[in-house]
Amino acid sequence: MWQRLPTRDKLAGWGLNLPTNCLLCGTGSETSDHLFFSCNYSTEVWTSFFSQSSLSRPSVFPDVVDWVRTVTSSKKVKVIIKLIFQACIYFLWRERNSRLHSAMLKPSHVIQREIQLQIRARLLGLDWESYKALATRSASQSSYLTLWFEMFQPRKA
């Protein structure tokens, strides 16, 4: 997924004569690392999910895989972090494309909200699956949604 997206730096590298500025902030140049990581707009989206816990995401993408593997011993927290990453990348790329093809600009708090709703719906589904699988249910285990609200749900908005 990562380096395969046709960001503007790639298109310019293929000889296409296009503007290379970032569509989310308008100032940086659009590389994958900028668009999804160092861009102010993206950073606002990301940090909302990591401001509550002591977790802080790595600043460059190649470190993410190792970080997710080692950041916590909780399987469920790992699942939630992976979902946050997938959803942030997906929604940021979608917002970037919608800005390219239309004049619709969503502020970062709207994207944050969309990501939250998406993830919470997914976690509810996962909790329901583990509830049904009674054999593997342990009473002391927090549900995905409990962990979400304890650790990741942004306080404002």
Of residues 36-95, which lie at the interface with Zn ion (CB under 5 A)? 39
- Please, what is the minimum distance in Å from the beta carbon of residue 50 to Zn ion? 19
Spatial contact of 34 and 28, defined as CB atoms under 8 Å apart: yes
- Please, what is the minimum distance in Å from the beta carbon of residue 39 to Zn ion? 3
- Tell which residue, 16, 34, 13, has the closest CA to residue 25: 34
Report the residue number, 55 or 110, with the smaller CB distance to Zn ion.
110
Spatial contact of 40 and 34, defined as CB atoms under 8 Å apart: no
- Please, what is the minimum distance in Å from the beta carbon of residue 141 to Zn ion? 40
Is residue 23 part of the contact set for Zn ion (CB under 5 A)?
no
Cβ-proximal residues to 99 (8 Å cutoff; 6+ apart), any chain: 23, 24, 105
Size of the site for Zn ion (CB under 5 A): 5
Residues that bind Zn ion (CB under 5 A): 22, 24-25, 28, 39
